[in-house]
Chain A
Amino acid sequence: MPDKITYYVIVGGSNTVHNPRGLVRRLEHEDGPSDEALRDDFSWKSTPVIVEWERGDFDDELVEVSHEQSSKIIEYFRHQWGPSGQPLDS
């Protein structure tokens, strides 16, 4: 169980915090952090994106969002991608 979770949206190009490209999170454990990205099947998977961003090695920007905002963003993605990763209008 992580002590703390920090969420970040991925923005870049024409994508802002209102229509982000993706959602990642850092889980703080007693022995250090681990990072995960939200996949289009709405599962979380390990990602190097946050580490790369911290080193200036990621092409897009990350913007920290609150837990409440992250829930809304997941709902936004659910609408965009559909419940299992397919767009609702496809």
Chain B
Amino acid sequence: MRFLDLPDEPEHPDRASVDGADRSTPRRRELPDPDERGRTYEAMRAHASAETAREPSDATGESQHDQRADGAGQRGYRNEVPCFMEMWAKHERRWPETPRHAADPTSPDRDGGQRQGPDRQAETAEAIGRVREVEPELSANAQAIEQENKHGGWLDGFKDRLKRKDRLEEKVAEKLEAEPRMTAAAALREVADAIRFTYCFQPEDYTRGYYDMKERFESRGHEMYYSKNWWADPEYKGVNTRWVTAEGQRFEVQFHTPDSFHAKHHVTHLAYERIRDTSTSRAERRELHEFQREVSSWIQAPDGAADIPDYRKEGF
């Protein structure tokens, strides 16, 4: 079951990874707000199957889930992962996957057939080709920065740094639907995450690591034009930044802890994909949001992360 994949324990947590293999070291951490966690979990349970409702409880009224703890009696994100997987499996049984429009960017329904055709396909292919051309140098930069950084940050998900062609086409199609006078070429130029690098830091190194990485990218002539801090968000954790090279190529850099990356990459990714799918029913979408809130409520915010400012440069 793919969602049960946990990042391997790093053998050398202070050594940066070149190949971007998943690495993490669970640490003892403070629990998130128990009231929020309890409310979210109870809401999720209310929408889960009858099977969930039949979970045994002990004399105190606590479910097995509530009693889950690590060896030191400390509950944390890592302890809860099997429960998240169980919740997701139940969700998938309750809401089986159906053919979805969003997965098919070539569907005539996507833009009424007005923008499909050889011209757009050629524009898209050309733009994707440009991204592929500049990517190796950018990736080399990102790997060099990984090696140089003083806070133990490592690249994670590096093999997925290039957005898949079909997803890129889908993203452009969605943008053109909402921005009817945009050309495909212009839309592609503005896609920030066609190339994405993700750095992970242990929570105690996270905030200093963010600023260190930012300086290192800037020192290579790249300009940050957007930074969004999601640590206070109930459904997603991390800091997402967007950059532009001196030649105008945009790319994205995300900053995560091992837990926030794991949650995003291994636990909630498909939930988000369903949320953004316009064919998902409102009832299912509500449960998906509850699932994301439950998972995120267990992720510890690193010290100082809340103070990393949002930023957006005019003209971008």
Contacts and interface: CB of A to CB of B under 8 A. Distances in A.
Interface of A: 10, 12-14, 21-22, 24, 29, 31-35, 37-41, 45-49, 51-52, 55-57, 59-61, 80-81, 85
Contact of A34 (B102, B114, B235, B282): B282
A14 B276 contact: no
Q: What are the 4 tightest A-B residue pairs by CB atom distance, in nearest-first order?
A: A32-B282, A40-B180, A46-B278, A37-B178
Nearest to B235: A55
Nearest to B238: A56
Interface string B174-197: 110111111000000011110000
A80 B180 CA distance: 11
A47 B190 contact: no
30 contacts: A10-B179, A12-B316, A21-B178, A21-B181, A21-B182, A22-B180, A24-B178, A29-B282, A32-B282, A32-B285, A33-B282, A37-B177, A39-B112, A39-B177, A40-B180, A46-B278, A46-B279, A47-B177, A47-B178, A48-B276, A48-B277, A49-B174, A52-B174, A52-B276, A55-B235, A55-B236, A57-B193, A59-B192, A60-B175, A81-B181
Contacts of A85: 180
B138 to A, nearest CB: 18
Interface in B282-312: 282-283, 285-286, 312
Nearest to A40: B180
A48 B102 contact: yes
B190 A60 contact: yes
Contacts of B279: 46
B112 A41 contact: yes
B227 to A, nearest CB: 10
B228 interface: yes
Interface residues of B, number: 33
Most A CB within 10 A of own CB, among B178, B181, B276: B178
Looking at B114, B190, B230, B276, the one whose CB has the most chain A CB atoms below 10 A away is B276
Contacts, number: 78
Nearest to A51: B276
A21 B176 CA distance: 10
Interface in B147-203: 174-175, 177-182, 190-193
Which among A14, A41, A49, A55 has the highest number of chain B CB atoms within 10 Å? A55
A45 B114 CA distance: 14
B3 interface: no
A10 B187 CA distance: 13
B104 to A, nearest CB: 14
Nearest to B193: A57
Contacts of B272: 55
Contacts of B312: 61
Contacts of A14: 315
B283 A59 contact: no
Nearest to A45: B177
B230 A56 contact: yes
B6 interface: no
A76 to B, nearest CB: 12
